[in-house]
Amino acid sequence: MPARKRIAMIAHDNRKADLLDWTAYNVETLRRHDLSATGTTGGLVEERLGLRVAKYLSGPFGGDQQIGAAVAEGRLDLIIFFWDPLEPQPHDVDVKALLRIAVVYNTPIACNRSTADFLLSSPLLDEPYERFANTDEV
């Protein structure tokens, strides 16, 4: 991973306000990195915080799968995914696939605010980092 990380952000509907609040709190740190997000989330972050965000499709329309593909292709370094485990999603299979691919490719993924805080405050965030995949086949 380069020192300037490529960070993807995703939030289910019930968690978008929480992600926006977290992003506002961490806006100066996030400015130092390349940001992407699923469509609706990325649009909200750009509109409310003025951050530049490359947008994938909305999650239910394939955005989660696009982020998973970017992980597998080595185009993302870190994922912030505020998902709602208590609300059934029409694309639950895509969510599970994204979580799986993040683990297979040893990609840090924060699924709640506390973990996101720890990832962003890590001294490794602004340093190059050699990441190893969890399988010999990758």
* CA–CA distance, 34 with 127 (Å, rounded to integer): 14
pLDDT tens-digit readout, 84-113: 776 766 666 778 889 999 999 999 999 999
pLDDT in tens, 28-86: 999 999 999 999 999 999 999 999 999 999 888 889 899 999 999 999 999 999 987 76
Considering the domain delimited by 6-121, tell me its CATH architecture. 3-Layer(aba) Sandwich (3.40)
Prediction pTM value: 0.90
Tell me the β-bridge partners of 35: 7, 53
By annotation, the residues acting in catalysis are 64
Long-range contacts of 38-44 (CB under 8 A, 24+ apart): 38/9, 38/10, 38/11, 38/63, 38/64, 38/67, 39/63, 40/16, 41/9, 41/10, 41/11, 41/16, 42/9, 44/16, 44/20
Q: Where are the domains of the chain?
A: 6-121
For the chain, the C-alpha Rg in angstroms (whole number) is 14
